C-alpha cells in the first residue's frame, strides 16, 4: 500500500465455508434435493459446485437444458432441507476474531454471500459480529450470483471504495472467478474443502488454512493495517 493509494479500504468476506462451517451441510442438502427431484448427482460433484449461487447450481450440474420446473423443485427442496440446520450453524475457529481485528485496523468489513437473505441472517447470528459490519450483500441483492462479478461489485459499492482498495476472502473457485472479473484482489481459505492448488489456479493471491490462520498472519497479509494519508 502506498501513500498515493491511501484512503478507505474494504475487507470483503464470503460467509459460507469461509466464516461459517456450512459447505458440507450444503453438499448434503443439495444431494438430497437432487435425489428427491429424480436426478441423483454424486456428492463429490455437488461439493465442487458449492459456493456457486443457487440460481446457477442446478443447471451447472444437470446441464443448461435442464427443465426450469425441475430446477425450481431442486432449489426449493434445498432451501427447506438446509433451513433445518440453521439452529446448528457454527462459526469457524477465529472467524469472529478475524472480522473484529480487521475492523479495528480501519477496514470497512462487508459480507458478500451468494446465499439468500434468510440464509445470510442465520450465518450472521452464528458469527455475532454485526457491530463491526459496514454492510452486507446477499444473493437476493443482485441479478446474478457467483461466479458472476455482481455480488463482489455490489460489496465494493456498499463499502464506498474503488475495487483496487478492496480485498476479498473466499473459499471456492467461484469466489476467485467473481473477484477476477470485478478487479478485486482475492485471498483463499481451505475451510470450504477445496485443494489449495485449485484456489491458486483460480486466482487466489494467497491461501490460508482458515480464518484463524489468516488472523495469525494478519500483520504480513494483504489485510495488514491500511496506510494512513
What is the rounded distance in angstroms from the CA atom of residue 20 to the CA atom of residue 178? 20
Rg (C-alpha) for the chain, rounded Å, is: 17
- Indicate the pTM of the whole model: 0.92
**1 pLDDT higher than 70:** no
pLDDT at 3: 38
Kindly state the percentage of the chain with pLDDT values over 70: 95
pLDDT digit string (tens) for 29-57?
Answer: 999 999 999 999 999 999 999 989 888 89
pLDDT digit string (tens) for 86-135?
Answer: 999 999 999 999 999 999 999 999 999 999 999 999 999 999 999 999 99
What are the residue boundaries of the structural domains of the chain, listed by start?
3-22+89-220, 23-84
**Mutual orientation of helices 117-127 and 95-104 as an angle, nearest 10°?**
90
DSSP string, 36-84: HTT----HHHHHHHBTB-TTTHHHHHH-TT--HHHHHHHHHHHHHHHHT
Q: Which grid cell is 221?
A: 497479509
Q: What is the topology classification, in CATH, of domain 3-22+89-220?
A: Rossmann fold (3.40.50)
Best CA proximity match to 183, nearest among 159, 170, 165, 158:
165
**5 pLDDT higher than 80:** no
pLDDT at 65: 61
pLDDT digit string (tens) for 164-201?
Answer: 999 999 999 999 999 999 999 999 999 999 999 999 99
Amino acid at each position: 500500500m502506498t501513500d498515493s493509494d491511501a484512503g478507505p479500504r474494504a475487507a470483503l468476506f464470503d460467509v459460507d465455508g469461509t466464516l461459517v462451517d456450512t459447505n458440507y451441510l450444503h453438499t448434503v442438502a443439495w444431494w438430497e434435493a437432487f435425489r428427491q427431484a429424480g436426478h441423483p448427482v454424486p456428492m463429490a460433484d455437488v461439493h465442487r459446485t458449492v459456493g456457486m449461487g443457487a440460481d446457477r447450481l442446478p443447471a451447472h450440474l444437470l446441464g443448461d437444458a435442464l427443465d426450469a420446473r425441475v430446477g425450481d423443485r431442486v432449489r426449493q427442496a434445498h432451501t427447506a432441507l438446509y433451513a433445518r440446520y440453521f439452529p446448528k450453524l457454527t462459526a469457524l475457529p477465529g472467524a469472529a476474531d478475524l472480522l473484529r481485528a480487521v475492523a479495528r485496523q480501519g477496514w470497512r468489513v462487508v459480507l458478500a454471500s451468494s446465499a439468500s437473505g434468510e440464509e445470510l441472517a442465520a450465518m450472521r447470528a452464528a458469527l455475532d459480529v454485526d457491530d463491526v459490519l459496514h454492510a452486507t450483500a446477499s444473493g437476493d441483492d443482485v441479478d446474478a450470483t457467483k461466479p458472476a462479478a455482481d455480488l463482489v461489485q455490489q460489496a465494493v459499492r456498499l463499502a464506498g471504495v474503488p475495487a483496487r482498495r478492496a480485498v476479498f476472502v473466499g473459499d471456492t473457485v467461484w469466489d476467485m472467478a467473481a473477484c477476477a472479473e470485478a478487479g478485486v484482489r482475492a485471498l483463499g481459505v481451505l475451510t470450504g474443502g477445496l485443494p489449495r492448488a485449485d484456489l491458486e489456479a483460480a486466482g487466489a493471491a494467497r491461501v490460508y488454512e482458515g480464518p484463524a490462520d489468516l488472523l495469525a498472519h494478519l500483520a504480513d497479509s494483504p489485510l495488514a493495517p491500511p496506510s494512513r494519508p
